Structure 1
Amino acid sequence: MFVDRSKEAHDADVSAIASLDEPTRRRLYDHVVRQPGPVSRDEAAAALGLARQTAAFHLDRLADESLLDVVYERRSGRAGPGAGRPAKLYRRSTKQVAVSLPDRRYELAGRLLAQAVEESDATGEPVRDVLHRKAEELGTQLGGQESAGAFDLLERYGFEPRREGDAIVLANCPFHALAREHTQTVCGMNLHLLRGVLHGLGEAGLDARLAPAPGRCCVRLEPAA
């Protein structure tokens, strides 16, 4: 199942990375991720020569940004009444944080390519045929989930659409580096992905066509013949 990485998620990643620009916070983050187990506020403060209150503030900020996870453990080894309150501890978050400007969608391409290779290996169908079919299926799924229209969907997925008369040109290719090195494969995948998007949207007035041009995506949406 494909999960949409929304603008809100992208903005949250930008905020998380920006939070590491503060030197003390970055030192605390680096310290925590180097440890084999969760770290307490007191341990982090002592290791970096900080006041406990300062360490606590920055550790909680890192947790708020989902860069660290918070867990609670009793360090005394005792349980039950009299064992004391569990300590608040910090460890590296399982969340992956990545920001690319302009927007890139290499995970989406990688997922489609992996699916195509696996299905081709299982069925004997040519990899490229499977890739085109999978890309069109995904595009149809994405288009079927969209209520606003093609322009908004393309904007959200990083294509940077621009109107050029009755056509829509795409100023950004979300698969740029892959498309430069594997042009035929990636541009064919992208063409079928966008054909699927138009199909899912029920957009009969536009066709996705290959129209490579410098500084643009290889696909252009033109009025249907």
Structure 2
Amino acid sequence: MNKVQQQASLSEAERLSAVASLGDPVRKTLFELLRRSPRALSRDDCAEALDLPKSTVRAHLDRMVADRILDVDFRKVGVRTGPGSGRPTKLYTVALAEVGVSVPARHYDLAAELLAAAVQHSMDSGVEVRDALATVAFDAGRELGAQAGSIAVVLENTGYDPGPDGEGGTIMANCPFHQLSREHTGVVCSLNGALLNGVLAGCGDNSHVIEPDSNLSHCCARIVPKGP
């Protein structure tokens, strides 16, 4: 999963936690150091670069790992390898290139990446952009669905604000691509429908289908039980 889709997979509470985490000036400085670094950095690297105690740096790094802002890897560094070369070093890299939150939730970064990927796919393959967008968005949704395990989790994490429609289905009170959909309704709604269908496929949900929702106060799609 790429970085944009990784952020989209975070729940609203997790995104808020990430933003709050970077409200601390030391953690923000550490994040910027790692974001700009061309390689993974150890605790000692960070402490030396910022002239801070190693214990302080470790506590802040571990907090950002817990908040899913940083990734951790263990590997040996230096020229010595094999027995006697010491234990692997704990190395940190940025998991999220950007950390942001909006109320209500919006994911213009996800839309932009899917649109750009669709254009690239169209240029490379010669297929129509509309078909390329359907393919790219479906594949992205399938990846999100496979990771989440259910469409309900994806809807919650991506900010669709799902709720019952009173008829056994689910309406989505918020569109994560709201401003784009106002100016480019057909394109964005096609993207959204393919994305949500991909989510159903990815989480193995064979009991529901995606249908258009013409209510302008809601997302352009709703989820309904599959008919007999």
Specify the TM-score bucket, using the shorter chain as the normaliser: 0.5 to 0.7
Question: Secondary structure of 1:220's partner?
Answer: strand
1:21 aligns with 2:18: no
TM-score calculated relative to the size of structure 2: 0.61
Question: Secondary structure of 1:217's partner?
Answer: coil
Residue 190 (structure 1) shift? 0.7
1:95 aligns with 2:99: no
Question: Secondary structure of 2:160's partner?
Answer: coil
Decide whether aligned partners of structure 1 residues 178 and 64 sit closer, same or farther in structure 2, where only a CA change above 3 A counts: same
Extract unaligned runs of 5+ from structure 1.
74-89
Contact 1:140 1:197 in 2 (8 A): yes
The 2-side partners of 1:143 and 1:44 are apart by: 39
Aligned to 2:160: 159
TM-score calculated relative to the size of structure 1: 0.61
Letter in 1 for 2:182: R
Question: Secondary structure of 1:213's partner?
Answer: coil
Aligned to 1:113: 115
Decide whether aligned partners of structure 1 residues 20 and 221 sit closer, same or farther in structure 2, where only a CA change above 3 A counts: closer
Decide whether aligned partners of structure 1 residues 210 and 31 sit closer, same or farther in structure 2, where only a CA change above 3 A counts: closer
Decide whether aligned partners of structure 1 residues 134 and 153 sit closer, same or farther in structure 2, where only a CA change above 3 A counts: same
1:202 aligns with 2:206: yes
The 2-side partners of 1:29 and 1:146 are apart by: 27
Residues 46-84 of structure 1: CA distance to partner in whole angstroms, max 9, x if unpaired? Answer: x99x99987887687668765699xxx9xxxxxxxxxxx
Letter in 1 for 2:212: R
How many residue pairs are counted as aligned between the two chains? 215
The 2-side partners of 1:137 and 1:8 are apart by: 15
Extract unaligned runs of 5+ from structure 2.
78-90
Alignment RMSD, CA only? 4.9
Q: Which protein shows a greater Rg?
A: 1
The 1-side partners of 2:57 and 2:138 are apart by: 50
